[in-house]
Amino acid sequence: MKTNFASSIGMVALALLILPAQARAAGGATDTKLSIFVDCHCSDPVGGDFCSALKDNVSDSSAYRLVDHTDAYGIGVHLWCVDMFTGLPGINSKLTGTMSAVSVAFTIYAERLPGEVYEDSSVFRVGKEATDEMSQRILTALGQLATANKSVFERMQAPPPKPAATPTSQVIQ
């Protein structure tokens, strides 16, 4: 399974490197921070707090910049959260708003791809007192994904190669 996963990443990286580079943003200066798109679908209070904490941690990071849409290239973090005790009768109803079940999917995106490429996913629980700690763990996971795909991201940062000059023919009259 690990070999297939590594092969998939390698194939995506190869495709990104082979495809011609599209126009880059004007201005010449490049932002060395990796773009992170955090997409939250968290309607419960704990999930909402967790998502906000993650966005704050990404924004405060020296390695990443939080973006509100998938831009040139980066990593997507897609969160779905649900209160673990909503709608349960009895004693569990007193626990509503204390813990969220969170599903996270990580993707790689680039303007040259037709969509986002799946990288990894996980499901876990977050208690209302642990939103900051769990958001730090997601930030650590982002670092691992960024490291695993470092060469791909570096190639996307580099200016596209200049086309080779083609000889012109001269007509002698």
pLDDT of residue 67: 97
* d(C-alpha 8, C-alpha 117), whole Å: 10
Count the neighbouring beta carbons within 10 Å of the beta carbon of residue 122: 12
**Sheet-wide strand order for 99-110:** 64-67, 34-42, 73-83, 99-110, 117-127
At residue 167, the pLDDT reads: 60
What pLDDT is stored for residue 161 in this prediction? 64
pLDDT tens for the 173 residues of the chain, in order = 554 544 444 444 433 333 333 333 333 345 689 999 999 999 999 999 999 999 999 999 999 999 999 988 999 999 999 999 886 666 666 788 899 999 999 999 988 778 899 999 999 999 999 999 999 999 999 999 999 988 877 777 666 666 666 666 566 66
Query: Does this model's pTM top 0.95?
Result: no
Please tell me the predicted confidence (pLDDT) of residue 154: 76
Domain edges within the chain = 32-156
DSSP 58-118: HHH-SSEEEESS--SEEEEEEEEEEESSTT--GGGGGGTTSEEEEEEEEEEEETTSSS-EE
Tell me the fold of 32-156. Double Stranded RNA Binding Domain (3.30.160)
What is the predicted pLDDT for the residue at 28? 39
| Predicted local confidence at residue 114, as pLDDT | 83
